[in-house]
Structure 1
């Protein structure tokens, strides 16, 4: 393709297309990363009827636990469920060889929760998405 040709880009907002692009990046990354294994880590708490009451999703790779989501039902908040869920996930990550944890949280979400559990603020993305901000936090799991 010559640099003077006009490209005809097609709009595709589908989840399927986004997954394909993500997979292409992952394929490239795996050729250059020293870590060849990335493991999902999911924990859930359900009631006797199978209704989800709390959940945690993350992945572990190399030295890192990357936390994606931690959610506790409104009816159970303030009862130490989130702390127990996070501690269990961190212990699993340590067993997998992780030394650090990383996460992001929005200004109206859980920064104080994570700070009280040893996470420190590393960077703030301001004006996100407009007037709020996103906090990026880490924790040393060894200590």
Structure 2
């Protein structure tokens, strides 16, 4: 500490709904407005800044797979994709990805991205044309890597 600086302390809390939390978010938003005004202006004023997407694969009346995503600007983020375990390997996941790509192109997306665990199917996404752009080793504290993948569409 240099002369004239007041010492500070750090405290922990498990309550996020507080005036202090509001202040911290305000500081970040103010900085973001200065650093990236066009993005922040668009986020604040565009009614469709984020658009949710739910794709369902059906056989007869039963859902056999689904994909949940969210479009933001030119990115479509797939947050969840799953197929009925009895029907995996039959192309349902590939069709869901293809439909997400089609929907993304129709809605001005240039990219798809997803994160997935080492045991969840990173190879499936690689085969679908995604590239690994990041990894977090031991993400779950049990030795499994989390992969971040993206694809230009």
| TM bracket (short chain) | 0.7 to 0.9
Q: 1:33 to 1:71 in 2, by over 3 A?
A: farther
Q: Give 2:51's aligned residue.
A: 39
Q: Give 2:70's aligned residue.
A: 59
Q: CA deviation at 1:32?
A: 1.9
Match of 1:79 among 67, 90, 94: 90
- d(CA) in 1 for partners of 2:73 and 2:80? 20
Q: CA deviation at 1:61?
A: 1.6
- d(CA) in 2 for partners of 1:136 and 1:91? 21
Q: Give 1:132's aligned residue.
A: 144
- d(CA) in 1 for partners of 2:149 and 2:12? 40
Compute the RMSD of aligned alpha carbons: 2.9
Computing the radius of gyration over CA atoms, which structure comes out larger, 1 or 2? 2
Normalising by structure 2, report the TM-score. 0.71
Q: CA deviation at 1:47?
A: 4.1
Q: Is the 8 A contact 2:57 2:92 kept in 1?
A: no
- d(CA) in 1 for partners of 2:9 and 2:148? 41
Q: Which has the higher helix share?
A: 2
Gaps of 5+ in 1: none
Q: 1:5 to 1:115 in 2, by over 3 A?
A: closer
Gaps of 5+ in 2: 1-6, 34-38
| Paired residues, number | 128
